[in-house]
Amino acid sequence: MLNIPNTITLLRIVAVPFFLSLLVEGSYRAALVVFLAAGISDGIDGAIARLTNARTELGAHLDPLADKLLLVSAFVALGILDLMPVQLMIIVIMRDIVILGGYITNAVITGRPMEMKPSAWGKATTFLQILTVVVVLVRQADVIALEPIVLPVIFALTAAACFVSGAGYVIDGIRWYNAVTEQDAKRPS
């Protein structure tokens, strides 16, 4: 069902190519505005869905997809443009590939999907990823002067959070798989 929150989420997805075009053109202030608007819209669509009881299955899948699309494409673009370490770009991408791969593998093997709940570390990682993109764009747009140590510290914190949250999701996936296969083994044939 296409309601107001889902429409806002779709607009966030549509904003991704515009954001990337602005980055490639070197229009960092405009890219920052689009990125911040997309981030704010994420909070708005969630609030509207909760307050108006307009949560849908479509929204439950579209919202995290829109978030990942924006963040991963931002990291890829900023890495390719040499505005952040390529290693950080790779860490961010690999974390998401491992999580998605584990989810799909568990679903294929067990025949049932695993419920994906964001962990505290996962939320911290998302926050740090957003902060990383914003700080890089702020620096490139010359919005405010940053101390030279700021970016390396944020890059290191983001990489560490990716590793910790990624490992946590892998452990949760293994536990879920073991619990499901144990339940299946106990069922009478």
Question: Phi/psi class of residue 146: alpha, beta or left (left: φ > 0; alpha: ψ in -120 to 50)?
Answer: beta
Task: Note the pLDDT tens digit of each residue in 5-50.
Answer: 888 889 999 999 999 999 999 999 999 999 999 988 888 888 888 8
Reported in sequence order, the residue ranges of the chain that DSSP labels E, i.e. its strands, are none
Going by the DSSP 8-state scheme, the letter that residue 81 receives in this structure is T
121, 115, 130, 118: which is closest to 180 by C-alpha?
115
Task: Note the pLDDT tens digit of each residue in 161-186.
Answer: 999 999 999 999 999 999 998 888 88
Residues 6 or more apart whose CB falls under 8 angstroms from that of 52 comprise 4, 5
| Tokens, residue 57 | 């299955």
Backbone phi, psi, residue 2, to 5°:
-95, 105
Domains for the chain: give ranges and CATH numbers: 4-186 (1.20.120.1760)
Task: Note the pLDDT tens digit of each residue in 57-90.
Answer: 787 778 888 889 999 999 999 999 999 999 999 9
Which is it for the CA torsion 34, 37, 39, 41, positive or negative?
negative
